[in-house]
C-alpha cells in the first residue's frame, strides 16, 4: 500500500518526467523552485492531467494513459494542503473543516469535526474567520480540513514557508504525528534539506523536471548521486 507513479507532462517548454514510489511513510520531494515538485502534486491530485504514464494510490489506479483511466479530482479523495493554505475566507474555522464532509450523517460529521478540533488544538477560534487567526492556526485548519474526510494520502506543498521558526518546529512535529496516526502516505514538498533530515523517511530529489535520486535522507547525504544532488545539498 502506498503510492506508485510514473508520469510525464510538458507545459510551456517545461518537461516533467517523474517516476517513484513510496509506502505509508513520509516522503519529501526535495529540489529547487521550478524543478517540478508542485506540478507532481497537482498531477497526483488530478488538477493537471499527465501526458502519459500512470498513478496508483493504495492499490487503486487513479490515472493510466494506456488504460484510459483518469479519475476526477473529487473522487480521488486525497488531502491537499496548498502553500497558501487556500482556506475559504468566507467560512469560519468549523465550516472550513466540515466542507469536505458532504454526504456524511450529521452526528458523524459533528463527531469528526470535534475530533479534528481537538487533534489540531483549535479549541477557541472555531467560529473565527481565517483572516482573524494566526498563520500557525491557519496551517492547522488546512490540515484538519484535508484530513477530516479520511483521505488515502496527504500532500503538503511547502507547508512551512509562511511561518516563523518556533511555529515551524511545532508543526513539523504535528505532521509527523499525523503520519503516524493516520498511517497514510504523506508527500511533502520542500526546498530545505534541514526539513527533510528532520521529517522524512524517504526523499525524492528533483532536478530540472527529473528525479535525480531517491533514498533515505541519510543515504542521500552519504552518497549524493552526481554533482547536481551534491550542489543541492550544499545549498543549506
DSSP character at residue 96: H
The stretch near other proteins (CB under 8 A) out of 10-18, 41-49, 173-181, 187-195 is 41-49
Residues 111-170 that bind other proteins (CB under 8 A): 145-146, 149
Residue 63 near residue 7 (C-beta atoms within 8 A): yes
CA distance 132 to 99: 19
Cα maximum dimension of the chain: 56
Least Å from the CB of residue 150 to other proteins:
11
Quote the least distance from Cβ 113 to other proteins, whole Å: 14
Question: What cell was used for 88?
Answer: 475559504
Q: Which of 10, 15, 60, 84 binds other proteins (CB under 8 A)?
A: 84
Q: For residue 219, give every residue at least 6 positions away whose Cβ sits within 8 Å of its Cβ, in sequence order, or none.
A: none
Cβ atoms within 10 Å of 168's Cβ, excluding its own = 19
- Does position 58 bind other proteins by CB under 8 A? no
Q: Which stretch binds other proteins (CB under 8 A): 67-75, 108-116, 183-191, 194-202?
A: 67-75
- Contacts with other proteins, residue ranges (CB under 8 A): 42, 45-47, 72-80, 82, 84, 86, 88-90, 99-100, 102, 145-146, 149
Amino acid at each position: 500500500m502506498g503510492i506508485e507513479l510514473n508520469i510525464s507532462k510538458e507545459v510551456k517548454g517545461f518537461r516533467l518526467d517523474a517516476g517513484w514510489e513510496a509506502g505509508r511513510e513520509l516522503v519529501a520531494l526535495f529540489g529547487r523552485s521550478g524543478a517540478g515538485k508542485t506540478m507532481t502534486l497537482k498531477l497526483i491530485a488530478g488538477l493537471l492531467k499527465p501526458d502519459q504514464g500512470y498513478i496508483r494510490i493504495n492499490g487503486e489506479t487513479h490515472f493510466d494513459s494506456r488504460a484510459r483511466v483518469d479519475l476526477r479530482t473529487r473522487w480521488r479523495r486525497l488531502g491537499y494542503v496548498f502553500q497558501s493554505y487556500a482556506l475559504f475566507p468566507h467560512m469560519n474555522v468549523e465550516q472550513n473543516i466540515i466542507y469536505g464532509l458532504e454526504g456524511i450523517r450529521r452526528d458523524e460529521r459533528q463527531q469528526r469535526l470535534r475530533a479534528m478540533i481537538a487533534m489540531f488544538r483549535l479549541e477557541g477560534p472555531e467560529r473565527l474567520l481565517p483572516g482573524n487567526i494566526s498563520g500557525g492556526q491557519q496551517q492547522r485548519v488546512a490540515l484538519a480540513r484535508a484530513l477530516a474526510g479520511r483521505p488515502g494520502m496527504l500532500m503538503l506543498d511547502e507547508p512551512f514557508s509562511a511561518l516563523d521558526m518556533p511555529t515551524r518546529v511545532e508543526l513539523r512535529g504535528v505532521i509527523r504525528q499525523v503520519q503516524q496516526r493516520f498511517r497514510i502516505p504523506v508527500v511533502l514538498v520542500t526546498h530545505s534539506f534541514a526539513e527533510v533530515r528532520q521529517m522524512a523517511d524517504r526523499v525524492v530529489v528533483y532536478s530540472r523536471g527529473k528525479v535525480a535520486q531517491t533514498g533515505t535522507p541519510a543515504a542521500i547525504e552519504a552518497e549524493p548521486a552526481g554533482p547536481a544532488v551534491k550542489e543541492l545539498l550544499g545549498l543549506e
